[in-house]
Each structure stands twice: as C-alpha cells, then as structure tokens.
Structure 1
C-alpha cells in the first residue's frame, strides 16, 4: 500500500471531520497527505485569470485549501501536508488526484438519494471511479477516540475478498487489530427452498446458511493470516441482517471495510444495498473497496 492519502475539503463540518480522520490515518500509515479543494471553474486553474473577479475567486479558493491543510497540521503536527487547489466537477477532480494514492477520504454529505439511502453525489461518484479505496467519514467522527479496531464484512464473494485485502493492508499499516464478521439469515420460504428441504430432510435451511457463513469466514481468515501475518484477527459469525450487524460493530471501530457488492448486492447498482446503507449510516468511517481479486 504505497503512496499518499487524499482528502477532500470544502470548509463544511463534514469535510473538517474527514480531514482530521485522514490526518490521523496518514500519520499512522506513514503517508503524506494531500488536502484537495475543488473550485468550480473547469479549465481555468492553470491559465491566467481572465478578470479581476476570477482572480479574486481563485484566491479565495486557495484560502479554503490552505485552511484545510492547517486543520490537518493541527491534528498531526509531524505530518507532511500539501494544500492542493483543483478545478472541475469535484468527484472527477478527486478521482484524478487518487492516481497512486493509498486512500481517498471524503466527508459524508447527504445530498443525493439512491435506493432510499442518502449518499452525497461527490462520495458516490468517487466510490464509483477512484482507482483506490475510498473512505467516507461521518461528521460525528470528530470527537471519537481511537479504538485500534478495524472491522471487515465477509460473505465469500470476490468483492468481499477485495475488502478483506483492503482491511488487512490498512490494519497492517495502522497497527490495528482486525475483526472479520460473517453474517447469516435463514432464507425466506420459496418453492426452490421447499424442494431443497424435501431432498435434504436432515438439515435445515438455517443450518445451511450458517455453514456458508462459517466457510466464508474461514476462507477470509486464512487469507488474512497468510498475507498479513502481523495483524491480530478476530473471526466472528453472527445471525442477522448484514447491514445491522456490521453497523453495531462499527460503533466501537475506527474503520469499517466493505466491498462494493456482495452476495446481497442488487444487480445494476455500482454499490450493493448493504454497502450503501453502511456508508450513509455507520457510526465510524467506512472504507469501500472496489477491488475484485483474481
């Protein structure tokens, strides 16, 4: 996990929380931090101002970037921090800055509705296209003390394995312990389930669901112990809706890691329903990994 950490800053309380979390994480990872403020006149950043008014606007935008960098320095005084002014649509600019980065960090803004879940358009666009993991930080993160715990949701899917790798990399760099959580629920009654039960009278559908969760967790833990041996791993299987179970664990975590889509994801969505719900509502920052291992 080489490279820098990128954080978006626009002066809002949500972006203050994001910068503070990014500064702390960059310090733990030993990575430099870029605090990026995006102003809205695409194509004018590197050209001479066309008027005194545009020069004034650009100077004000630079002040916002510098303000964000000062927030980072006050949080982590030893950290290497750069204030960056970029232009164009914010999500596009942040994706561009993410090339070669370890993480992109954003504050959680609830300005766009997707499948009944509030998720800011900048966060959504960045998650969809960034080449590295994206962390979305809630405003309430400002006063939370570190717990040294990273939680990752596991379901046996390829996207889940990508989340496992991202969690292992982050926990290794941050010196955190890692809790891998697999959830299961009894499947709803259906014609296919009834046929399966007739053919397998000795086993219940709940037993099968629990077994699948345990197998997914075993595979994830084996991967973590092989690839990230320095990390202390806590395996856990729980019954219940994945979003609610993971949200409960997030209450005592520094970071929750999820894949963009798992076995419960909805076809046609870039983010699965569980990931969407957690990004919008979890008490701690949520890292979304788009990686799909071979």
Structure 2
C-alpha cells in the first residue's frame, strides 16, 4: 500500500528534533494530541498543517481502503519478508528504548503465522435489535479468520479506515488491537521498514528479569497479579505491562497449561486469560525466539 512502507522524508537538521526513542518529537506530539489528553478525546482532530508535517515524518497517514482479501494477501507476503530474528531483536530493544511500536511487531508476526490464504467468508457475529426485539441489523465477520487460533477479527472491507489511531496505540502502549486483521496488516507494514539494532546488555538484563519474575509466580496467580509484579522488572505503565503480558502470551512464552479454567470477575484478556502462575513460561518458546540473546 503506497505510503505505508515508505521512510519519512528527510528534512534539514533541527536541534533537539528527535526524542530519546528516535522519533520526530513534533510529529509524535501531533499524533498523540489528536487522540489523547489525560484520556481519550471525544472528537479527534488534527490541523491540516500539523497533519501534513506528521505525515511527512511517517507518523500519520491518509485514510486507507483495503479489502479483506487484499489484507490477507499482503499479511502473508509481509510475514515471509520479515525474519523471525528481526522481530525478536525489536522486542528486546523495546525494553530499554521504550519503542513500544517495535514491541508490537513480534505479536503481529506471530498472529500472521496463523493466517492462511483464503477469501472472505461471511459468518454472523452479532445482531442489533429494535425496541420491539426485532432484528434491525446483522453484523458479520470472516468465518475463516474467526476460526483461526485466537479468533482473528476480519471485516469484508475496510473503507476510509483511520489507521492513525492504530499508530497512536502501537506507539503509546504496544498496540491494543492484536488479533484484528487490519491492525496486523498495518503493524507489519510499518515494522517492515524499520532498521532494528542489536539488543544491548541492558535489554538482555531486563528480559532475564522479566523471565525471573514470571518464573517465581505463585501457583494460581492470574495475569493481573503478574502485571503488578512486573513493575520492578521493566520501566512501564500499567497498560504497557498488560500489553506486554498479552504479547508474551500471543507468541507462546506465556502458555496456559489448560484452557478449561475459570475466569475471575470481568476478564478482558485476549491471549493471556487462561495463564496461571504455575504455568511459568514456556522454555522452548523462549529458546526458539530469544535463545541466542540469553
């Protein structure tokens, strides 16, 4: 898709232009202020001049229209062009550099591995009823996507989709829509253009501390307990730690010993809901993805 895989247009050097995460500070600020001010904004808005600047720096984009079938085809092509070691390096580098968008890539890569070539196959996903109880609207999703592992959400057509909010979420938290077809496509499009360095000693130490924290979980601990305990392992907000846990579950590092477990209260975990402390972490998954760095 034109624009998504292009690198930002270079500009004349401006002092203090980049933040510590390597992103253009002004463009990132424009993106964030479009959607967030101590919470979600009810009516996102970006001035035309600001949008043009953020777009030139590769952080904002025009609305996108893409079909389910094209999305699937491009995801499969992107998956084959991105190396597993690259997403592993990016995940590790994200721990000290706080590049949450890099952290997101390994989850999208993992999800892409479950996607098989197919065309949109409609399946009813819900109903909207009127006051008298009659069905007024029936919503559908792709049945093939739905029946893949984790239940991927795939619409028939994404028309004028706002992908800037997806970019905001992946940069701020590491993505909150893992498992949605459009997000997987967008995330891999953006990730494929990144130049990922080698993880530092600090990155490796942080990851070892994360594994140690998981490995010392108490039997019966829920993901929420792990989130709190990870506070000491990695500099992060609560939402960042929740997404970190979801990503680790998505790539099989946090692997449930059973999917026949009860949920506690209001559960909103997508991938980690069935994990418990006694499951610790999957050593084979860690070795496969990160072994050369440990």
- Establish whether TM, by shorter chain, passes 0.5: no
Larger Rg: 1
- The structure whose residues are more often strand, as a share, is 1
Give TM-score scaled by structure 2 length.
0.25
Give TM-score scaled by structure 1 length.
0.25
